[in-house]
Amino acid sequence: MKPSIEDIRHLYKPKVKPIEWNHNGHLILLDQSKLPFETTYVTLTTPEATADAIRTMKVRGAPAIGITAAYGMVLALFNGSLSTLNDALEALRKAKVVLDAARPTAVNLAWATNRMVKKAMDLSNNGDAKTPAQLRELLIKEAEAIFDEEYNAEIAMGLYGLEKINEGDTILTQCNAGGLATGTGLGTATAPIKIAHALGIEVSMIAPETRPWLQGARLTVYELMVEGIQTTLITDTAVGLVMYKGMVNSVMVGADRILRDGHVFNKIGTMKEAIIAHEFGIPFYALAPSSTFDMKSKVDEVIIEERDPDEVRKIRGVPITVEGVPVYNPVFDPTPPKYVTGIITEKGIIYPPFARNIPRMIGE
């Protein structure tokens, strides 16, 4: 019998805690830019500091930056100079502008700030919040609800993903779409593997290092090894060979944005994995909650973030090329729908034709 979300909540206990809210108005983040070499935390008290932590990737991964931004909105209401509800709503609108500008590609960020503003307006219009302090307490609950819904969604995705895994399988991923990337400790692409492991089903993962920021080498390897899941690190350039040699049963990746037509925006290198998987008949799945879907944008309208050239010229501060060489450093790519076998969401698995089936499952 298929385990329930409650069963998994009892069986699986996350081993990493990337985001913690302390009720004195402090948002505490595990600094992912330093992992796995240092386990340090940053304490944030303003929306500006939160946006900066997102920009500098102390917290990263689409759902995690959404949850962080939701708490970042709440931090705007810890400013003692807010005396009326209108002041508070204005502070939230300003915080939203600052937070939304932190990173452009993952849609979860603006999804979360929109939800917080909408909730604040509803609470003030229906009289549930009469003072900035009351609004603040109710918005903390909303941010907690976003976190909780994300965790339940990941368990649901994990259970759907489990249907695509057999004992002994090896799954190739890209970047880190694990519990660090979602803030919950479970993850999206890693959820089926972690749940399988918790149920005693032997599975293993191949993690490409994911240049330039090395989310695979630093973060995916770290969080899977902490859980005792067998993980093999490869260079990004070995992706074709491991598939050619039959070492991969399926590909499971996360997503930063999924369009209505099935284009999957995820970490640079994902598109290459999908195309090679297609060539060798290996199923390619993207796992993401409904908050990752963008039902409005066309593929060419999505901004693909380009980051500092020095991320490519250097590895962890050490130069690897000729100083000043021109660099192109896009950090996401759009996988065309024809290479996607299925999109695993908390509502179920979406199969092609995506243009018809995504709106049916996700809604408008």
102 touches 54 (CB < 8 A): yes
64 touches 292 (CB < 8 A): no
Q: Find the shortest distance in angstroms from Cβ 107 to ligand MRU.
A: 10
Catalytic residue flag (residue 308) = no
211 is in an annotated binding site: no
* Residue with tokens 């990752």, as numbered in its chain: 292
Q: Name which of 71 and 213 has its Cβ closer to ligand MRU.
A: 213
Q: Find the shortest distance in angstroms from Cβ 181 to ligand MRU.
A: 3
Which residues, at least 6 apart from 180, have a Cβ–Cβ distance to it below 8 Å?
A: 16, 18, 30, 32, 35, 61, 64, 187, 219, 223
Q: Find the shortest distance in angstroms from Cβ 324 to ligand MRU.
A: 25
Q: Name which of 73 and 175 has its Cβ closer to ligand MRU.
A: 175
Q: Name which of 27 and 67 has its Cβ closer to ligand MRU.
A: 67
126 is in an annotated binding site: no
Q: Name which of 132 and 179 has its Cβ closer to ligand MRU.
A: 179
Residues of this chain that bind ligand MRU (CB under 6 A) = 60-63, 106, 175, 177, 181-182, 187-188, 215, 254-256, 266-267, 331
**Partners of residue 252 on adjacent β-strands:** 285
Backbone angles phi, psi at 324, to 5 degrees: 80, 5
Tokens of 310: 């020095």
Q: Which residue in the list 169, 256, 294, 333 is annotated as catalytic?
A: 256
355 is in an annotated binding site: no
Tokens of 78: 């810890």
331 touches 307 (CB < 8 A): yes
DSSP run (H or E) holding 95: helix 85-100
200 is in an annotated binding site: no
119 is in an annotated binding site: no
Q: Find the shortest distance in angstroms from Cβ 247 to ligand MRU.
A: 21
User: Residues comprising the binding site for substrate?
Assistant: 60-62, 103, 215, 266-267
Could you list the active site residues?
256
